[in-house]
Amino acid sequence: GAGVSQSPSNKVTEKGKDVELRCDPISGHTALYWYRQSLGQGLEFLIYFQGNSAPDKSGLPSDRFSAERTGGSVSTLTIQRTQQEDSAVYLCASSLAGGPSYNEQFFGPGTRLTVL
């Protein structure tokens, strides 16, 4: 079946503009995660959605970052007033269920964001 898809694959924007990144998880997966990978770094957790529960936003680096998950499926990560340090690859993952016990996470190909 289809895996996790993300769009766009690449996004170049100017500093100060807002961007929206989209994630389509695997059908039937109730848990959805956003991570980002900055150059030379590991993946950094941003936010987690599980079913209809309130999301875990503990990884969001600032209030310029927000995310929604509509209808328990598609998710949008929004970055307002982008800064150059926001440049990174943004990765979405989904799993059958969430924590605390582990469920395998399946990753999308990522969106490479470049802020000029």
Partner 1 sequence: DQQVKQNSPSLSVQEGRISILNCDYTNSMFDYFLWYKKYPAEGPTFLISISSIKDKNEDGRFTVFLNKSAKHLSLHIVPSQPGDSAVYFCAASGWGSQGNLIFGKGTKLSVKP
- Contact status: 106 vs partner 1 (CB under 8 A): yes
Contact between 91 and partner 1 (CB under 8 A)?
Answer: yes
* 67 near partner 1 (CB under 8 A): no
Piece of the chain touching partner 1 by CB under 8 A; list 11-19, 34-42, 66-74, 78-86: 34-42
Of the listed pieces 13-21, 61-69, 73-81, 92-100, which binds partner 1 according to CB under 8 A? 92-100
In whole angstroms, what is the distance from residue 38 CA to residue 47 CA? 16
3-state secondary structure of 68: strand
How far is residue 28's CA from residue 44's CA, in Å, rounded to a whole number? 25
> What's the min distance (Å) between Cβ of 32 and partner 1?
11
> What's the closest the beta carbon of residue 61 comes to partner 1, in angstroms?
14
DSSP classification of residue 15:
T
Sheet strand arrangement including 5-7:
5-7, 19-24, 75-79, 65-69
- The Cα-based distances of 50 to 82, 87, 99 in angstroms read 27, 27, 9
Q: Is 42 in the site for partner 1 (CB under 8 A)?
A: yes
Instruction: Give residues in contact with partner 1 (CB under 8 A).
Output: 4, 31, 33, 35, 40-45, 48, 50, 56, 59, 91, 93, 95, 97-110
